[in-house]
Amino acid sequence: MTEAFNPLRTSSILTPPPLQLLDQLTSPIWVIDLFAMRLHWANRSGSELWSRSSLRAWVKHAQHGRHEQVRMRLERIQQALSKRQTWTEHWTFYRQGELVSLPCLCSRLTLPDHGEPLLLIEGLDERLEPTLAKALRLAEQDLEQRDATALAVGEAMRCLMLLPDGDRAITQTLQMLGSMTQADRAYVFRNHPHPVTGELLTSQRWEWTRAGLTLQMEHLELQNIAYKDLDPSWHEYLSTDRVLNFRLQDLPANYAYRSFWHGQTVHGVLMLPMILQGEFWGFLGFDRCRTDRLWTDAECNLLRLAAAGIGCTILRHQSDVKLASFNMQIESLVEQRTLKLRAAVQQLQQEIQERERAESQLRYNALHDRLTGLPNRTFLMEELAKTIRLMQVTEQGGFAILFVDIDRFKVINDSLGHQAGDELLVAIAHRLRRCLRPTDSIARLDGDEFAILLQDVTTRAQAEQVAESIHRSLARPVTLGSQEIFTSVSIGIALGSREYDCAELLLRDADIFMRRAKAMRSRHEVFDRAVHQQVLTTLRLEHDLRRAIAQIEDMGIDRAGHPEVPMPFSLRYQPIAEARTGEIQCFEALLRWHHPELGPISPDRFIAIAEETGLIITLGLWTLYRACYQLREWQQLFPQLGHLQIAVNLSAKQFSRLDLMEQIDQVLHRTGINPGTLKLELTETTIADNSDLAAATMYELRSRQIVLCLDDFGTGYSSLSYLHRFPLDVLKIDQSFISQLGGRDNTQAIVRAIITLAEQLGMDTIAEGVETAEQLVWLANLGCTYIQGYWLAQPLQASAATQLLEQHDPRLIADLESNLQESDRPLDLLARS
């Protein structure tokens, strides 16, 4: 020590809780901190005896000339304290000028909130010295015992947390707590229900005893004890989180377990409840066999923490599975529940894994083509949109889009079959991918169409170089089974620029020039600014088309479909009549658009735009509503024409919608027409793109008695085998065949074959584009069911079609009837067929 002791450097006068007992004594008491060189605390008697002036004098005396003696004395005191020695010294005090000599008892004192031991000085009255010394020693022992208990509880909690084996952790905890709290036996009783009645029982599960004592767990009477058989106050106290702390000598002589405890030489008992999550789980107990001293409140409060820690350990480790030697039935129940839970968890984990795999697969499927494994249109459009946004922001990073279409794919697909067609698509996809760099992207758009996004392309020559590489790669034949197939592709190229702010527009420009390349039989075409005006015109037309369709959507398609509601769009109705009688059997509804500035727009022009942009969905549904409302009006005007039908063309996009049946059901319900009077016309391309889905949809339509017609039959590339798969009612012979009936023999043979095929399959036929009587006579002789064309009537407004129904006279085909009556043979005009 280098600093002299200074009693003036005292702490607060406020008495710490551990020293409250000493504050009540009349004897003077001082607590000195030798390390801090200050008076830590003094009671009232000590403060009165040692006055401020005396303190100053003592400090002055200690600090002048006697440092070495003070230092040596302090070292002796510290050595005595470290050995926990107690000694008596005489101290001399000056109180109000009077010399007072007082014997003092010096001893070691430890406080829980103070790290170093303190010097406790007790002024003694020689007459009361033995009694006071004993009381003070007892107080000191209580404090030391509390410190030991706190240390034991801390070590026990650490043991409970760190040891993975719950049984071992609890056993070691009992040993530490029993040893440090001067107990002779420590044990844990665990509550459990009776396996049959459910009554609350308790059993001793863990125990520690000091050497020389017998284990209580060997006694069966300490297992499966019902609380009702014990003192009723036990359960009342313990279950309400209260402590039982008693001496055996205080119990009645006839107490039930008194004799048992006497047999175990027990003098004092402490029981602390284990309350977990509001539930009474059991209790922690201690027995004292050598002394009957009660546990202090401080010890009880500390040991409560240990009881809670043991309870948490029991809960955490679920030690019920290790109680088989005590209660097999409980173990069986716990094991069964554990097995069920484990099975449920495993099943849940498996379901989660399967769901994650399914979600991952769904995400992959949503962005990839199932056949080729390439990304699909959705993926490409997202990548293209990102690339366009990057160019808009950074003005860097040129790119190009290549629209690739396989030439004559439908011919190959129909000739060799769908499996061969699929294999060809996979082979071509593989070759296309090998022509690209890692930074480029390729996607299968639909059918035999692919799109390639080239990054870091700034010139036309760079894009054409990739196109040439593709042509060279596909120049080699593709082997399908035992056959070698030579194929080629048409490529449309559009270079990216800041003028493009929409991925669809860029892809559409590439598509347009792919079709230009196919029409010109060139291998590839690059988008040319010279035709940009045509594109702008098309864009303007698309914009105006959107505005016109928006009027339908704003009003509501159902309401806008009523014939009396004026709309930018209208329908023309071309009659379809029976070939032999001339009786009008149906009207085909044909869509027209009158542009407010440009006037009538060709259907081929605006319908193509509607198909490309998806506007055909709304436009087609409106057409369906208006045509059906018009049919209902005719049926009301002409009740005798209940058989009259209305024919409506259904686009491929409409046909592929999942809510198609719901839309058609709503149309039939709101218009009130008979489903058998609605005829839907489908193209070969519409049903061939996804034959399985098409067949399912057509059967649903057939189940509603809706008539199905295959439009423009003979112009596509579909296999005739499709006619067996699809529930078709009518084949419509394309007008390109009808217009050549008078000239080419092979055309007449094709028409005759179509009519014969339809008869064999139980289908009707409609010949469209009939413009002469000779065509009509020839078709009627072959058994064609219905005719349509300018010879009968051109497409009419609704009012003109109504007049036609009022004035229709079968004499329009009187010449046909007379010719048929004259001879069973065809007219001379067609005899050579």
Handedness of CA 817, 818, 824, 829 (dihedral sign): negative
Cα-to-chain-centroid distance, residue 611: 35
Name the residue among 172, 150, 146 with its Cα closest to residue 161.
Answer: 172
194 or 722, which is more confident: 194
Name the residue among 344, 378, 345 with its Cα closest to residue 362.
Answer: 378
Q: Which residues of 565-577 are buried (b: 16+ CB within 10 A; e: fewer)?
A: eebbbbbbbbbbb
Distance, in Å, from the CA atom of 436 to the CA atom of 470, rounded to the nearest integer, reads 9
**Percent of the chain at pLDDT exceeding 70:** 83
Which pLDDT band, with edges at 50, 70 and 90, does 13 fall under?
Answer: very low
Q: Which CATH class is domain 17-126?
A: alpha beta
Q: What is the pLDDT of residue 226?
A: 85
Is 173 exposed, middle or buried (CB count within 10 Å of its CB: 0-12, 13-18, 19+)?
Answer: buried
pLDDT reading at 325 higher than 60: no
Express each pLDDT in 133-190 by its tens digit: 555 566 666 666 667 777 778 777 787 777 777 788 888 888 888 887 788 889 999 8
149-326 CATH fold: Beta-Lactamase (3.30.450)
713 or 690, which is more confident: 713
For 572-588+627-830, CATH number out of 3.55.10.10, 3.55.40.10, 3.20.20.450, 3.40.50.620 equals 3.20.20.450
Maximum CA pair distance of the chain?
Answer: 167
pTM higher than the cut 0.85: no
178 or 535, which is more confident: 178
Is 513 exposed, middle or buried (CB count within 10 Å of its CB: 0-12, 13-18, 19+)?
Answer: buried
Distance, in Å, from the CA atom of 768 to the CA atom of 789, rounded to the nearest integer, reads 6
Average pLDDT over residues 705-717: 83
Q: What is the pLDDT of residue 803?
A: 92
The CATH code that applies to domain 368-527 is: 3.30.70.270
Distance, in Å, from the CA atom of 683 to the CA atom of 209, rounded to the nearest integer, reads 95
Name the residue among 132, 144, 71, 72 with its Cα closest to residue 103.
Answer: 132
Phi and psi at residue 379, in whole multiples of 5°? -60, -45
Phi and psi at residue 304, in whole multiples of 5°? -60, -40
Q: Could you give the count of Cα atoms lying within 13 Å of 817 in the half-sphere of its Cβ?
A: 10
CB 110 within 8 A of CB 82: no
Express each pLDDT in 91-130 by its tens digit: 777 666 677 778 888 988 888 777 788 888 888 765 544 5
Q: What is the pLDDT of residue 825?
A: 35
Name the residue among 446, 441, 370 with its Cα closest to residue 402.
Answer: 441
Q: What is the pLDDT of residue 128?
A: 47
Question: Strand order in 87-95's β-sheet?
Answer: 38-42, 29-33, 118-123, 98-109, 87-95
Q: Which residues of 700-731 are buried (b: 16+ CB within 10 A; e: fewer)?
A: ebeeeebbbbbbbbbebebbeebbeebebbbb
Domain positions in the chain are 17-126, 149-326, 368-527, 572-588+627-830
Angle at 19 between CA 13 and CA 22, to 5 degrees: 100
Distance, in Å, from the CA atom of 689 to the CA atom of 418, rounded to the nearest integer, reads 11
